[in-house]
Amino acid sequence: MKAFSLHLLLLTLVLLSSSDYRVEAKCNFPAIFNFGDSNSDTGGFWAAFPAQHGPFGMTYFGHPSGRASDGRLVVDFLTQALGLPFLSPYLQSIGPDFRHGANFATLASTVLLPQTSLFVTGISPFSLGIQLNQIKELKAKSLSLNQSGLPLPSTDVFARALYTIDIGQNDFTSNLKSIGVAGVKQYLPSVVNQISWTIKELYDLGGRNFVIFNLAPIGCYPAFIRQLPHNARDMDQYGCMVSYNKAVMHYNRLLLQSLNNTRGIVPGANVVYFDKHAVLLELFRNPKASGFYYSTKACCGYGGGAQNYDPAVYCGNSKVINGQNVTATACGDPQNYVSWDGIHATEAANRVIATVLLNGSRSNPAFAFSKFCDLNPIG
């Protein structure tokens, strides 16, 4: 597939630069079904465990929207570019509309089935296998209730939809403190195999177009810099931890190889590997080239310093420290930050990632959305 033309790329940049654009796109993707963790969760976790509060959502929504950011996520920009509404979380019981897809992602989700409880380690119970079962149930209900008038996908949507998978970060990071990089590497093949198996299961449901995100350079994230063991010799000139970023690159190579093998068992499908890692690594290393000022410093946090992150006081929370009540507050200019809360990206950084996703320059194989959709905004 051919990549975007320069003209279409410029139009895409204009499209994504506006927070108020409206798109009426003619698109062969009538829906998006998304699977993932907090990087693409549009409210599933907080629908199951209501508690989110400000300053999350401050930039775009003006209130907490269930997203781990100050505004929109990559999946939000993608749906808008394709002329679709924001995805309703599958777990949302009040007012969901699944006619144009559903979001099965939840914050803190893993690829592998968790061996612990949310209330013990903070890992979500909604692992990728559970999310797969949820879409199977959604399809079964859609088929059986097709004439009910409920806001469910039509029978042809599952074959024509775009399937996006952005998950694996929690599998990688949740055990780093206890077993180290060497220990985590032992089960990474199981993680990528589970993702490939999930693609095959979705293919059997009718899916034919898949975009799989690789892992971001966690060695540059403020929270991990503050929490993971390392020494000064492990830090590069950009303020990132070399050893952990190398381990992420190892995982990403495994994922790419696994997806290459998967293409052989899903004939007629597009299985696209999106290199989110490369996009974010460039933002962390050279933020000013993309209009940012801070890279490895959190916008919303406590403690100031190089990372502005204290694991004892997470974004928006308050705690008594040394006899004083302190609060992790948000900066007034999140558009200048790559990192929102030390773990997740700002809306501004997500916009950059989405732009690259749409132009296809970091996709393997090249995936031209222009072949499937008219992304031109209505003037």
pTM, 2 dp: 0.92
Which token pair is 317?
């929370």
pLDDT band at 325 (very low <50, low <70, confident <90, very high): very high
Which of these is catalytic: 277, 341, 363, 370? Answer: 341
**What does the mean pLDDT of the chain come to?**
91
Residue 180, Cβ neighbours under 10 Å: how many?
14
Which of these is catalytic: 38, 124, 196, 339? Answer: 38
* pLDDT reported for residue 245: 98
* pLDDT reported for residue 368: 77
Question: Cα separations (Å) of 334 from 293, 298, 330?
Answer: 10, 9, 8
Which of these is catalytic: 124, 344, 363, 370? Answer: 344
CATH class of 6-292+348-371: alpha beta
pLDDT at 5 over 80: no
Residue 159, Cβ neighbours under 10 Å: how many?
11
Q: Each residue of 231-268: pLDDT tens digit?
A: 999 999 999 999 999 999 999 999 999 999 999 999 99
Q: Residue 93 catalytic? A: no
- The residue with greater pLDDT, 23 or 267, is 267
pLDDT at 373 over 70: yes
* pLDDT reported for residue 120: 82
- The residue with greater pLDDT, 349 or 373, is 349
Residue type, 242: V
Q: Each residue of 56-104: pLDDT tens digit?
A: 999 999 999 999 999 999 999 999 999 999 999 999 999 999 999 999 9
> 298: helix, coil or strand?
strand
Q: Is 178 exposed, middle or buried (0-12, 13-18, 19+ CB in 10 A)?
A: exposed
* pLDDT reported for residue 370: 77
Question: Cα separations (Å) of 185 from 176, 304, 366, 374?
Answer: 10, 33, 29, 42
Q: Each residue of 169-205: pLDDT tens digit?
A: 999 999 999 999 999 999 999 999 999 999 999 999 9
pLDDT at 11 over 80: no
- The residue with greater pLDDT, 155 or 56, is 56
* pLDDT reported for residue 86: 97
Which token pair is 195?
């993702």
Q: Can you tell me the mean pLDDT for 348-374?
A: 91
Q: Residue 38 catalytic? A: yes
Domains of the chain by residue range: 6-292+348-371
- Least confident stretch, 92-106, 140-154, 267-281: 140-154
Q: Name which of 90, 93, 92 is nearest 102 in CA terms.
A: 90
* pLDDT reported for residue 67: 98
* pLDDT reported for residue 148: 85
Q: Residue 7 catalytic? A: no
Percentage with pLDDT > 90 across the chain? 85
Strands 337-339 and 324-327: unpaired
